[in-house]
Chains A and B, each alone.
Chain A
């Protein structure tokens, strides 16, 4: 400290430097978080196995079913995690999901477009909505909560307008419309390939998305800066981080993943109706929050969000097997979400 005249000290070799550098408080807290989620998931599995009739809950078929049922929530929640990490909120993704699926249906079945162009249109629409959200948030500086609350309704209105509130099914097109058989097969094949062990196609898509978002959040410059911007926007501005560009990217990716989930669900179910996606807002937010992302920004992981979605899917599945009634499902998922935040506060305070 007091040797003013000494030259710059020698640089430590990289290997030696990492001694005593292994576990930081933050990494430990993140570890506790994921560990806690794994324990919660195990407890829920044990409880449902005990409560349910033999050979209903803890079976391979049911596990595969859970994997499929969580995939929609997980994919959109992974996109939402980016938006939350950068310190914003998106409430419009559920409606983007609805618009995307309706656009594919209408353009393909009613307008007679090739399926590939119809899908392109749906993704383009998602990019437009994401861009409008980001523009209003970054350029006009309107809080994202208000922006996306509004754009969500605009998008929903558009969906109703475009669909004419009709349910569409490519296998049974309206009178006078023809849908080529090869396109129907290709489209349904997006979610219904016969894979070994009956693994659902959507789980493969989900895994791919999770790997990409996981890379973004923990291994990319983009993710590093998203965390910085979300952690302290004022400092990010002084450091000249590309805040506007990155927020555009986060909102667009979130919308795109909503469109992807919509397309895959349409392909799996085989039909589409304009109300699709309306009920997604809560479970997707719940997955992100249970996964440990901070609504204040700057914190969130792909593995956490994925675990959050898994926990919710197991609970929904288990309660359904017990024929518990849907109100109980609402009770439990609401309680679990709040409990997750309470536990989070607790572990955070332990760290201090």
Chain B
């Protein structure tokens, strides 16, 4: 029995591998040539976040975004008028809500809706799997995958690339310049700061005895540091993890930021939690609602988040 089973298993692995091989990334044939396309002289070749070489025949006019971060980036670089669809979670900027919804809840997109919108560019992000990229490519679509930036410098590069492939290089260059200038202002102001208050960023406090927070390697962790604070969650091992209330009381944060304010958590509720009244932030009333979208989506609003954090953590810098 065991021998036969392992033989069959080997067989299956080979046949699956064969199926996978025949599925090897091929150069996707363009489905249809549309009359509305603005022809450009040369097809554009760019390497995306998966290391794939993506070839664009012309300036895309029917773009679909599969992630809120990608939608925000596309609008920020001035490609809003070229958008045809977006995932269900893209709610910023306001205009994006009017676009066709291609799904995305629980990681499932409607390939049918995507196909019927006849996109000439689909922009994916790290919330998408390589299988999804492959499936869209097999449908004859051009897919560009944005890997998550690990620094603001990475973000600038992404903005410039997306600006270039959508024919908006000028807008994206201006955007990057202004973002850099705004970051520089915060960095300059923070230079004179002599101490870094402890900041607790709450992602989800529905279990007050162990709220979810952001650990090392997350944008909020990096931005709190840049704004002259110290992220309490930085001691955790996971990027997104639950922190025991005990540890929180020991660390005694000066500031509590409610990333879950959008779900109805208020400063009053936090103050009423058992034991939390000993925390400095509660005693001093420094509990603030924070727009989690600006830090959970790696897009241009990270800089908005940095400015906001700077004002909340070091109000003395903004007299």
Co-assembled chains A and B: no
